[in-house]
């Protein structure tokens, strides 16, 4: 299958391009601002395009390639999404519209849009969050993703392209490229802090909740959604999540335990108030939401990267790269 991946040099895109190329798909990687300067990465790709998605000529170049599927991964992160509204909508919203407007005319079968669970806003109660949960955006990142979701819904109903939105929880794992924008993600940040500083410093009191899913499981989910290019998938929105919610403190304890097993040293964990955590026994609490992934599981999704395996992969990466 001919698949175009935008945001291909990004954190998720770089892994996804490799993953799908190995499965014998013809990958067209759309990179910006430059093509990564490593020969192994693009070796098995059909084509690499270097271009700014704000330019109409890049949209046209993508449409003219008449791909079977497009996976659209371009967005500013939640810090940069707070910048000037014109700039932010040019990156987070308009390209979704321009791509769908042009590519639905050229026989595109599937379009997969990467959105986020930030569209739900703050989730704190003991609830099961499925894809019908009320949307209550609480930041511009969530708002712009929701605007793009609506554009996707419009084209899903009014064109022959099967347009699917995925709402991703929190991806983690070793980056493909050192320059990938990923070390601020909670799991990656805590592992880096453990490896580099031999301590785990939290940015909170440890109670915030997260659903972490390894990058390879994200790739598995996308593969499932595009595999049936000729057959529209019934639902148009899917969660990509592990279905397990952890407190940041639980995560810190797990990382500390794995660190001890690997390096035979117990490292301290401290909260944002610089209080060293002495007691980890109260890390579990019942008031946690679940990002339900049963809709995706019903079409065969089976995440297989445990937190232990993913944390060890991050430590392996840092050993190989002498830190980050």
Ligand X SMILES: NC(=O)c1ccc[n+]([C@@H]2O[C@H](COP(=O)([O-])OP(=O)(O)OC[C@H]3O[C@@H](n4cnc5c(N)ncnc54)[C@H](O)[C@@H]3O)[C@@H](O)[C@H]2O)c1
Residues found near ligand X in the complex (CB under 6 A): 7, 9-13, 32, 52-54, 73-75, 77, 91, 114, 116, 168, 170-171, 180-181, 185
Question: Which C-beta is closer to ligand X: that of 75 or that of 104?
Answer: 75
Question: Which C-beta is closer to ligand X: that of 96 or that of 161?
Answer: 96
Return the beta strands (E) in 257-304 as ranges. Answer: 269-270, 290-291
Cα distance between residue 193 and residue 185, in whole Å = 12
The minimum distance between CB 84 and ligand X, in angstroms, equals 14
Report yes or no: 54 and 90 within 8 Å, Cβ to Cβ. yes
Question: Which C-beta is closer to ligand X: that of 245 or that of 271?
Answer: 245
The minimum distance between CB 95 and ligand X, in angstroms, equals 7
Cα 175 to chain centroid distance, Å, stands at 12
The minimum distance between CB 78 and ligand X, in angstroms, equals 8
Q: At a CB cut-off of 8 Å and minimum separation 6, what does 255 contact?
A: 190, 191, 194, 200, 311
Report yes or no: 160 and 100 within 8 Å, Cβ to Cβ. no
Q: Which residue is nearest to ligand X (CB)?
A: 10
Question: Which C-beta is closer to ligand X: that of 91 or that of 226?
Answer: 91
Q: Of the candidates 289, 203, 284, which has an alpha carbon nearest to the alpha carbon of residue 242?
A: 289
Question: Which C-beta is closer to ligand X: that of 191 or that of 277?
Answer: 191
Question: Which C-beta is closer to ligand X: that of 52 or that of 230?
Answer: 52
Q: What angle do CA 128, 112, 18 make, to 5 degrees?
A: 105
Cα distance between residue 277 and residue 6, in whole Å = 42
**Residue 258 forms beta bridges with which residues?**
none
The minimum distance between CB 41 and ligand X, in angstroms, equals 13
Nearest-10 Cα torsion for 159, 147, 12, 324? 170
The minimum distance between CB 24 and ligand X, in angstroms, equals 23
Question: Which C-beta is closer to ligand X: that of 146 or that of 277?
Answer: 146
Question: Which C-beta is closer to ligand X: that of 187 or that of 277?
Answer: 187
The minimum distance between CB 87 and ligand X, in angstroms, equals 9
Q: Hunting for tokens 């990466």 — which residue is that? A: 317
């Amino acid at each position: 299958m001919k698949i175009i991946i935008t945001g291909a040099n990004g954190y998720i895109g770089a892994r996804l391009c490799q993953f799908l190329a190995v499965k014998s798909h013809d990958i067209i990687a759309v990179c910006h601002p430059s093509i990564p300067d490593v020969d192994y990465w693009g070796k098995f790709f059909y084509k690499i395009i270097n271009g700014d998605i704000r330019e109409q000529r890049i949209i046209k170049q993508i449409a003219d390639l008449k791909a079977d599927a497009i996976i659209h991964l371009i967005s500013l992160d939640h810090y940069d999404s707070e910048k000037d509204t014109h700039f932010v909508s040019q990156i987070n919203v308009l390209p979704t519209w321009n791509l769908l407007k042009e590519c639905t005319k050229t026989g595109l079968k599937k379009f997969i849009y990467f959105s986020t669970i930030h569209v739900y806003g703050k989730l704190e109660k003991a609830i099961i969050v499925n894809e019908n949960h009320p949307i209550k955006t609480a930041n511009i990142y969530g708002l712009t993703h929701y605007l793009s979701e609506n554009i996707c819904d419009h084209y899903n109903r009014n064109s022959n392209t099967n347009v699917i939105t995925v709402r991703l929880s929190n991806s983690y794992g070793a980056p493909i490229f050192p320059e990938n924008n990923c070390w601020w993600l909670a799991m990656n940040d805590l592992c880096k802090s453990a490896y580099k500083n031999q301590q785990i410093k939290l940015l909170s009191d440890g109670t915030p909740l997260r659903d972490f899913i390894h990058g390879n499981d994200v790739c598995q989910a996308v593969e499932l959604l595009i595999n049936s290019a000729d057959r529209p998938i019934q639902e148009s929105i899917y969660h990509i999540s592990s279905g397990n919610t952890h407190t940041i403190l639980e995560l810190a304890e797990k990382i500390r335990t794995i660190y001890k097993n690997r390096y035979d040293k117990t490292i301290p964990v401290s909260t944002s108030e610089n209080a060293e955590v002495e007691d980890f026994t109260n890390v579990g609490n019942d008031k946690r939401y679940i990002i339900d992934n049963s809709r995706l599981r019903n079409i065969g999704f089976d995440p297989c990267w445990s937190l232990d395996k993913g944390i060890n992969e991050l430590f392996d990466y840092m050993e190989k790269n002498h830190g980050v």
